[in-house]
Chain A
Amino acid sequence: MSTLEIKGLQVSVATEVGFTEILRGVDLTIKSGETHAIMGPNGSGKSTLAYSIAGHPKYTITGGSVTLDGADVLAMSVDERAKAGLFLAMQYPVEVPGVSVTNFLRTAATAIRGEAPKVRTWVGEVKEAMKALNMDTNFAERNVNEGFSGGEKKRHEILQLELLKPKFAILDETDSGLDVDALRIVSEGVNRVKSNSDLGIMLITHYTRILRYIKPDFVHVFAAGKIVEEGGPELADKLEEKGYAEYTTA
């Protein structure tokens, strides 16, 4: 059992006019096996939360803490956070020209596991994971995210989730840009990882659509840089019906 604990997290970003505060004291605790949906309007700071936890250099932490089983995540470098068991599935995965998916996955797995995976079992492992995500085998020879469709990028993120087996996954708008079939395949992938590894999930989304496939245990409404309401799955139904108006105009 692991715990990801976010306490009073305050985050700013440098802009042309100086620092702008985006997160204004976020409190959230996620345990292994739990799925927390973070829902909120555009611009409320959901992605900033995701990237700050992962350690993106653009964001400056001005207060609060993030710990993973008591270890100070904010003191870790980006790769150390991943090695500690955090995974961020990005909304806009980055193209890395000239680096093949095969090479990338193997380099990442070697880093995370602390040793190079055995060639024979590794190839099978990758193939199986790709098959489960309906990915063509020639995918492995392509360059990381280069020329991928929106759906392919998201599948590639979940492929990494399957292979790197983190303790906690932050899924940042994984549903955006997916058609119904792709959404189902990607969601099934997330559920498969969760059932195999007791993964804790922070599921960031604007829409309730993905929650039909990935069932949240908790729903948190995010507005103006903090969590403004919390509840169970029924809160998502309310949002579906009424939208975010009451949180943004308040």
Chain B
Amino acid sequence: MSTLTTNYLAPTGREEAWRFTPLARVGGLLEPATEISGVASIRISNPQSDVNFSIVGAKELPAISQSDDLATLRAREVISEVTHIEIKANAQLSEPLILERSGLTGKPQASRTLISCGVNSHATIILHNSGDAILTDEFEFDLAPGANLTFVSLQEWNGQAVHLSRQHAIIGKDATFNSIVVTVGGSLVRLLPTVEFSGPGSSADLQGLYFATDGQHLEHRLHVDHNVPNAKSRVNYKGALAGDKAHAVWIGDVYIRSNADGTDTYELNRNLLLSDGARADSVPNLEIETGEIVGAGHASTTGRFDDEQLFYLSSRGIPAEIARRLVIRGFFAEIVGKIKNEEIENRLMDRIDAELAKVGA
């Protein structure tokens, strides 16, 4: 147990970074007085020979990136141990490494994890968050040159869970980072998928889906820092919202620095409002300091159900309820299909179906 000793100040809600977040519902994680225990919360369910798993003292393994996110700073402050997962150089994992995180206490906890991917390694890691949580955590990914990592983060928390999280990748020369974030559970989830590059020829592909129902607050704040030349990034987040006071927030910040010639970036956020009373905030930001780029663009759409799609399906005898389900599954299929795991795909779609049925959308 530890309380803060530094001159940390809790956010007031007026800060740009916190203006959408209902601070009263973050389980005290941001209050200096709250006791937060550090926890090594992750276990590997299918250990593999090319993967080292260790828990080391926080002082031996300090954070590798800068952050001004208060939830992250709190986590760094209070934890005493860091979980370190290393993918060996040149390793080619034949199956995804599954990380389970469940059985948290439901009391304020913090966790920090570093995932290091060796030179020219190739791996898929799937993090499965479930159960209860009041958690602030940080993942850092260190991709050596030529590494290829697909990181799937599944937020399948129960209905009371609170989860504040940063997932930050530093992508080396010619390395590729694919992030797939799926947030369907939790009372309040605020997740920051962020990337920076440490060498040219690198690329980031950040995909996500969220499905918010009655009273859920699901917030994703992306930040792509194009700080090297000739890097590429793609962002594609899709969300659906149904039920009273369902709230989704998507922020997509892309920063192209003056030295980042040859940058190629595009970000997209699409929201589907399935009922009244739901609200989606979508804010793409593109800041460009050099004109010598391949391309930079963004798009954001928030729309209601497409009646023409429903009519088309219904006119083939498909009942309206099944037609809606097909359209929603179809809307998410683009993202879910990228996980390339049928069991997870079915589990997620079943959960979405069940939540839809619950809100009667």
Cross-chain contact of A111 among B319, B329, B331, B332 (Cβ < 8 A)? B319
Q: A54 on the interface (CB 8 Å rule)?
A: yes
Residues on A with C-beta less than 8 A from B308 are 94
Residues on A with C-beta less than 8 A from B331 are 97-98
A96 & B313 in contact (Cβ 8 Å cutoff): yes
Say yes or no: A104-B315 contact (C-beta < 8 A), given A79-B320, A96-B309, A98-B333: no
Name the distance in Å between B69's Cβ and chain A's nearest Cβ. Answer: 33
Q: A38 on the interface (CB 8 Å rule)?
A: no
Residue of A nearest to B321 (CB): A79
Mask, B141-181, CB within 8 Å of A = 1, is 00000000000000000000000000000000000000000
B327 & A96 in contact (Cβ 8 Å cutoff): yes
Q: B340 on the interface (CB 8 Å rule)?
A: no
Residues on A with C-beta less than 8 A from B323 are 79
B326 & A54 in contact (Cβ 8 Å cutoff): no
* Interface hits, A87-131 → B, CB 8 Å: 87-88, 90, 93-99, 103-104, 107-108, 111-112
Cross-chain contact of A108 among B318, B332, B333, B334 (Cβ < 8 A)? B318
Q: B59 on the interface (CB 8 Å rule)?
A: no
Cross-chain contact of A96 among B307, B312, B320, B334 (Cβ < 8 A)? B312
Q: B316 on the interface (CB 8 Å rule)?
A: yes
B315 & A99 in contact (Cβ 8 Å cutoff): no
Q: B311 on the interface (CB 8 Å rule)?
A: yes
A111 & B317 in contact (Cβ 8 Å cutoff): yes
Say yes or no: A164-B330 contact (C-beta < 8 A), given A94-B309, A94-B311: no
B330 & A78 in contact (Cβ 8 Å cutoff): no
Residue of A nearest to B306 (CB): A94
Residues on A with C-beta less than 8 A from B322 are 107, 111
**A110 CA to B97 CA, complexed, in Å:** 38
Say yes or no: A99-B327 contact (C-beta < 8 A), given A57-B311, A78-B315, A94-B308: yes
B326 & A104 in contact (Cβ 8 Å cutoff): yes
B311 & A97 in contact (Cβ 8 Å cutoff): no
Cross-chain contact of B314 among A82, A103, A164 (Cβ < 8 A)? A82
Q: A77 on the interface (CB 8 Å rule)?
A: yes
**A54 CA to B315 CA, complexed, in Å:** 7
Residue of A nearest to B316 (CB): A108
**A171 CA to B316 CA, complexed, in Å:** 14
**A56 CA to B329 CA, complexed, in Å:** 23
Residues on A with C-beta less than 8 A from B317 are 79, 82-83, 108, 111-112, 164
Name the distance in Å between A2's Cβ and chain B's nearest Cβ. Answer: 17
Residues on A with C-beta less than 8 A from B320 are 77-79
Pick the most buried of B307, B315, B333: most chain A CB atoms within 10 A of its CB.
B315
Name the distance in Å between B340's Cβ and chain A's nearest Cβ. Answer: 15
Pick the most buried of A54, A90, A98: most chain B CB atoms within 10 A of its CB.
A98
**A114 CA to B315 CA, complexed, in Å:** 15
Residues on B with C-beta less than 8 A from A77 are 314, 320
Residue of A nearest to B307 (CB): A57
B332 & A98 in contact (Cβ 8 Å cutoff): yes
**A198 CA to B309 CA, complexed, in Å:** 30
Residue of B nearest to A113 (CB): B317
Residue of B nearest to A105 (CB): B316
A164 & B316 in contact (Cβ 8 Å cutoff): yes
* Interface hits, B293-348 → A, CB 8 Å: 306-309, 311-320, 322-323, 326-327, 329-334
Mask, A198-214, CB within 8 Å of B = 1, is 00000000000000000
**A78 CA to B309 CA, complexed, in Å:** 13
Q: A55 on the interface (CB 8 Å rule)?
A: yes
Residues on A with C-beta less than 8 A from B315 are 54-55, 78-79, 81-82, 87-88, 90
**A144 CA to B312 CA, complexed, in Å:** 10
**A74 CA to B255 CA, complexed, in Å:** 56
Say yes or no: A104-B311 contact (C-beta < 8 A), given A99-B326, A99-B330, A111-B318: no
A78 & B329 in contact (Cβ 8 Å cutoff): no
Mask, A146-181, CB within 8 Å of B = 1, is 000000000000001000100000000000000000
Residue of B nearest to A93 (CB): B312
Name the distance in Å between A222's Cβ and chain B's nearest Cβ. Answer: 21
Residue of B nearest to A89 (CB): B315
**A57 CA to B312 CA, complexed, in Å:** 11
Q: A143 on the interface (CB 8 Å rule)?
A: yes
B316 & A160 in contact (Cβ 8 Å cutoff): yes
Residue of A nearest to B313 (CB): A96
Residue of B nearest to A111 (CB): B317
Residues on A with C-beta less than 8 A from B311 are 54-57, 78, 94
A96 & B326 in contact (Cβ 8 Å cutoff): yes
A96 & B316 in contact (Cβ 8 Å cutoff): no
A selection of 23 A-B contacts at a CB cut-off of 8 Å is A54-B315, A77-B320, A78-B315, A79-B320, A81-B315, A82-B314, A82-B315, A82-B316, A82-B317, A88-B315, A94-B312, A95-B309, A96-B312, A97-B331, A97-B333, A104-B316, A104-B326, A107-B313, A107-B318, A107-B322, A107-B326, A108-B317, A111-B316
Interface residues of A (CB under 8 A from B): 54-57, 77-79, 81-83, 87-88, 90, 93-99, 103-104, 107-108, 111-112, 143-144, 160, 164
Please name the 7 residue pairs, one residue from A and one from B, whose CB atoms are nearest each other, closest first: A98-B330, A98-B333, A82-B317, A78-B314, A111-B317, A108-B316, A94-B312
Interface residues of B (CB under 8 A from A): 306-309, 311-320, 322-323, 326-327, 329-334
| Given pairs A78-B315, A112-B316, 7 additional interface contacts (CB within 8 A) | A78-B314, A81-B315, A82-B314, A90-B312, A94-B312, A98-B329, A98-B333
